């Protein structure tokens, strides 16, 4: 009989939800009564909407408990760990019996996330027990040539998961063809959008897979230096990365003659970035590593010719590197059997917004947006009507309800006006104002513009001013045309991907939700009842009881009326704060 294991999810999402306190409570219970079970740590399993999570593994199988509190832990330890009697009301994942949340995992195919939530990310032995470092060992033992490695990556069909979708093998081949003896392999872990949650979770939950992917990439292109560029706002990811790097050095996976491959010398270090969104663009990232301000450079030359320190360099993002060991160890067909003709494998998404089951999911390319939202995500919060999904991070586009059956692949998503990006998927319902959504995302990209390009620096600011006026009820005839003209100029005249994609939220909302812009400008109404300045509050005299709560609480005394008599809102005085609407217990106040 094996010893029972109690595993606590201690990724950033779990810690934020209180998992550290849960872990400390379990440890205290274990020590106080000298209980005979093994207490372990892991990271995010993707089920963020149920954090904190605690998994109990014994001879009967695995059971994961969700929304765990210090009080629930006592019951779980007493009944399940000691009494072999699972506490079924708390269970969110198991194969032993049916649970409602099981649907969250159905349809997922975990390749990049294959180890997340299954191993202690600070334990090299656990990574190796799940085929870790077997891919680079396969290369060393089989004396597989760098060209053959690149051929396998090309055959797998994997495309860069950082946003551009350029074929990874082709990118490696460009760097390989440069005959320099001094090359760099770089991991971009700095995307600052919802998809960055995916990067952070991978680094926190399985840092060795990213490191092994970089080692294989370095061998393939002939690099002898490695850099992981990670924003300093990810302290747990950086901590675990540095632990994993030191473990890899001691085990011979980094250093001189890696894995016994004569002449293959490589070390990797972590460079902490300042969190500038523009540094997700590879030339701006390179400038930042070199100690310069993070601003994009003209291309050509491309990094494969003159990258970091003007040496040939290859840059891939976290998810791309995490897939590489799986592809090399299991073969190209194990990966390209998933997906569509031009988009192979799987894609990780940070599913968020007005969704019941928000979290991290990995799905095969070709799954529809509908299946992600309604099967894995459980549908819309409060069963409201689905309106749109924004994909591709802050510079992604909005995909409307009538395109919900669009397949998730590079070409299909791009055809809608959105982008795959690094994996953000923000779900919106009927209460979401699409004009305000465009304003919200443009506000972010405008602030994050490095300012190098005139149209990006000034054009996005003018666009933001127009959008802000529209949501405040100050829109003018001709604003829509100005927005369209500026959007195309910014898109066509910017040097890097930030400026080229920043107008996407505006262009897609204009394309699919133009009527909302027109309602804001010409009717001075917000169809979603979201923009505060465009709301009108009125009292229904038949429902008003004259309780005077709204009149007493109104900050500008806009509500008048005698006690126990219907009240009235003075529209000229009203500041549209909505306080009366939220306080009325009789549903007497209507909003339009």
Q: What is the pLDDT of residues 315-336, one digit of tens each?
A: 999 999 999 999 999 999 999 9
pLDDT value at residue 275: 80
Is residue 538 over pLDDT 90? Answer: yes
Alpha carbons 368 and 391: distance in angstroms, whole number? 13
Residue given tokens 């680094």 in the structure block: 203
Start-end ranges of CATH 3.10.20.600 in the chain? 346-429
Start-end ranges of CATH 1.20.1440.230 in the chain? 434-523
* CATH architecture designation of domain 346-429: Roll (3.10)
What number of CA atoms fall less than 13 Å from residue 133's CA on the CB side? 20
How many Å is the Cα radius of gyration of the chain? 27
193 band by pLDDT with thresholds 50, 70 and 90: low
- Mean predicted confidence (pLDDT) in 199-228: 97
Rounded to 5 degrees, what are φ and ψ at 54?
A: -130, 125
- Mean predicted confidence (pLDDT) in 564-575: 93
155 band by pLDDT with thresholds 50, 70 and 90: very high
For residue 575, the tally of other CB atoms under 10 A from its CB is: 12
Alpha carbons 251 and 259: distance in angstroms, whole number? 9
CA distances to 156, 411, 527 from 344, in Å: 7, 12, 40
**Considering the domain 434-523 in this protein, what is its CATH number?**
1.20.1440.230
**Residues above pLDDT 70, as percent of the chain:** 99
Contact 182, 174 (CB under 8 A): no
Start-end ranges of CATH 3.30.70.20 in the chain? 535-591
CA distances to 321, 488, 523, 527, 546 from 515, in Å: 43, 20, 11, 9, 38
Start-end ranges of CATH 3.40.30.10 in the chain? 5-101
Model confidence pLDDT, tens digit, residues 447-467: 999 999 999 999 999 999 999
Is residue 195 over pLDDT 70? Answer: no
Asked if the 124-335 domain carries CATH number 3.40.630.40, the reply is: no
> What pTM value is reported for the model?
0.93
Quote the DSSP letter at residue 373.
I
139 band by pLDDT with thresholds 50, 70 and 90: very high
CATH (one of 3.90.1150.140, 3.90.1150.10, 3.40.30.10, 2.60.40.1120) for 5-101: 3.40.30.10
Smallest Cα–Cα separation from 331: which of 128, 125, 107, 158?
A: 158
Strand-pairing partners, residue 362, are 348
Asked if the 535-591 domain carries CATH number 3.30.70.20, the reply is: yes
For residue 514, the tally of other CB atoms under 10 A from its CB is: 12
Alpha carbons 205 and 200: distance in angstroms, whole number? 8
DSSP 92-108: EEESSS--GGGGGTTT-
Task: Give me 61's structure tokens.
Answer: 């199988």
423 band by pLDDT with thresholds 50, 70 and 90: confident
The strand pair at 91-94 and 184-189 is best described as unpaired
pLDDT value at residue 192: 55
Alpha helices per DSSP H over 77-133: 124-129
Alpha carbons 34 and 21: distance in angstroms, whole number? 19
């Amino acid at each position: 009989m094996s010893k029972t294991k109690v595993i606590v999810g201690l990724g950033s999402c779990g810690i934020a939800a209180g998992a550290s306190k849960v872990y400390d409570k379990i440890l205290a219970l274990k020590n106080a009564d000298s209980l005979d079970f093994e207490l372990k740590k892991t990271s995010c399993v993707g089920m963020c909407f149920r954090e904190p999570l605690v998994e109990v593994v014994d001879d009967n199988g695995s059971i994961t408990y969700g929304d765990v509190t210090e009080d629930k832990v006592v019951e779980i330890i007493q009944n399940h760990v000691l009494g072999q009697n699972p506490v079924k009301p708390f269970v969110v994942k198991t194969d032993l019996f049916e649970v409602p949340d099981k649907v969250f995992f159905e349809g997922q195919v975990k390749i990049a996330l294959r180890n997340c939530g299954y191993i202690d990310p600070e334990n090299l032995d656990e990574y190796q027990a799940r085929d870790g470092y077997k891919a680079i060992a396969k290369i060393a033992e089989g004396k597989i040539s760098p060209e053959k490695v690149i051929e396998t990556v090309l055959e797998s069909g994997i495309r860069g998961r950082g946003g551009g979708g350029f074929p990874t093998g082709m990118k490696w081949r460009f760097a390989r063809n440069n005959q320099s003896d001094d090359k760099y392999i770089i991991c971009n872990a700095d995307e600052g959008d919802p998809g960055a949650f995916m990067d952070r979770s991978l680094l926190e939950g399985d840092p060795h897979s990213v490191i092994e992917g970089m080692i294989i990439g370095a061998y393939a292109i002939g690099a002898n230096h490695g850099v992981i560029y990670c924003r300093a706002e990810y302290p747990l990811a950086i901590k675990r990365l540095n632990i994993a790097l030191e473990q890899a050095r001691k085990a011979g996976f980094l250093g001189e003659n890696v894995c016994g491959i004569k002449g293959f010398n490589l070390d990797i270090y972590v460079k902490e970035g300042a969190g500038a969104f523009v540094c997700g663009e590879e030339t701006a990232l390179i400038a930042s590593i070199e100690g310069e301000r993070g601003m994009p450079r003209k291309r050509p030359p491309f990094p494969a010719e003159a990258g970091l320190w003007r040496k040939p360099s290859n840059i891939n993002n976290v998810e791309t590197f995490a897939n590489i060991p799986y592809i090399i160890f299991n073969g190209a067909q194990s990966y390209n059997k998933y997906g569509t003709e031009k988009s192979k494998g799987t894609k990780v998404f940070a599913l968020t917004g007005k969704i019941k089951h928000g979290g991290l999911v990995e799905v095969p390319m070709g799954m529809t947006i509908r299946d992600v939202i309604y099967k894995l995500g459980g549908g819309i919060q409060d069963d409201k009507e689905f309106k749109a999904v924004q994909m591709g991070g802050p510079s992604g586009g909005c995909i409307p309800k009538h395109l919900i059956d669009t397949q998730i692949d590079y070409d299909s998503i791009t055809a809608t006006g959105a982008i795959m990006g690094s994996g953000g998927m923000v779900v919106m319902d009927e209460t979401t104002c699409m004009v305000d959504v465009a304003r919200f995302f443009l506000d972010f990209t405008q602030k994050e513009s490095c300012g190098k390009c005139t149209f990006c620096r000034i054009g996005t600011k003018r666009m933001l001013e127009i959008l802000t006026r529209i949501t405040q009820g100050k829109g003018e005839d001709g604003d829509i045309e100005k927005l369209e003209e500026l959007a195309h100029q910014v898109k066509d005249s910017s040097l890097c991907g930030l400026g080229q994609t920043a107008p996407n939220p505006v262009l897609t909302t204009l394309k699919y939700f133009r009527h909302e812009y027109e309602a804001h400008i010409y009717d001075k109404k917000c169809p979603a009842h979201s923009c505060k300045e465009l709301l009108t509050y009125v009292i229904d005299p038949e429902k008003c009881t004259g309780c005077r709560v709204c009149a007493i609480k109104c900050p500008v005394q806009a509500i008048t009326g005698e006690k126990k008599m219907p009240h009235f809102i003075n529209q000229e005085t009203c500041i549209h704060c909505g306080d009366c609407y939220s306080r009325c217990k009789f549903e007497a106040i209507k909003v339009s």
